[in-house]
Structure 1
Amino acid sequence: MLEINKGIGKPVEFRGLKGTYLYLSAGIIVSSLVLALILYGLFGLNTYLATLIVVGSGIGGIWYCMRLSAKHGVSGLLKLEATRNQPKAILVTSAKPFAQLRETKRPKSRSRSTTTGR
């Protein structure tokens, strides 16, 4: 019998690029094609120079994505971004929040009979 859903739960992978890095590298390829159109079409740059710039930036971007994929893993880019957004320190300049914690009334716990049923 054939397994229909063999790849369920696994990240998308293509030649070592996994998950988010694959989509990032696809965006790099598309943006390099747009760069080629801009350099050659709008600015009239020399064909060979435009090709060299576009191929160099494309290969450099893909190499950078491969390096990030190998270093951080599948969801490492998201974790890296999350750690960048965390504050370095939390500074409390007033004791007011802690005083409010002391003043709040907590509900009394219900007394239960501790029968174990043995």
Structure 2
Amino acid sequence: MLEINKGIGKPVEFRGLKGTYLYLAAGIVIGSLLLALVLYGFLGLNTYLVTAITMSCILGGVWYCMRLSAKYGVSGLLKLEATRNQPKAILISSAKPFATLRETKRPKSRNGAALVGRRE
């Protein structure tokens, strides 16, 4: 019998590009084609020059996405961005925030004898 939902839960993949990198590469291709439209249509540059610039942008961008996909994996780009946004150190110049902290009281259990000597 054939499995109908074989790809559920798996990331989208096309020729080695997985997940976010595939969408990033598609954005690079579309952006490069829009760049070609601007260079040729509005600025009137030479056709061969526009083609060379567009192809180099597309090939370089897709190559970079393939490299990132191979290096970091499916969700590695998000993890890399998350580690970049973490602070290097937390500096506290006064003890005032800690002065208001106190240990929370735990509710007493029904069978208090069973918890004697045990840490929760």
The two structures have a TM-score, normalised by structure 1, of 0.90
The CA RMSD over aligned residues, in Å, is 1.4
Structure 1: gaps (5+ residues)? none
- The one-letter amino acid of 1:4's match is I
CA deviation after TM superposition for structure 1 residue 108, in Å: 4.2
The residue aligned with 1:46 is 46
- Which runs of structure 2 are paired with 1:1-118 in the superposition (5 Å)? 1-102=1-102, 106-113=104-111, 114=114
Letter in 2 for 1:106: T
Offset of 1:94 from its aligned partner?
Answer: 1.0
Structure 2 spans left out of the alignment, 5+ residues: 116-120
Residue identity in the other structure for 1:35: L
Secondary structure (helix, strand or coil) at the match of 1:109 reads: coil
How many positions carry a matched residue from both structures?
Answer: 113
AA matched with 2:41: G
Per-residue CA deviation, residues 70-102 of structure 1 (Å, 9 max, x unaligned), is 000000010011111111111111111111113
Displacement, 1:111?
A: 3.7
Code of the residue aligned with 1:59 in structure 2: it is: L
* Cα deviations by residue, 1:33-83 (Å, 9 ceiling, x for unpaired): 000000001111111011100100110000000000000000001001111
Q: Measure the CA separation in 2 of the matches of 1:108 and 1:31.
A: 59
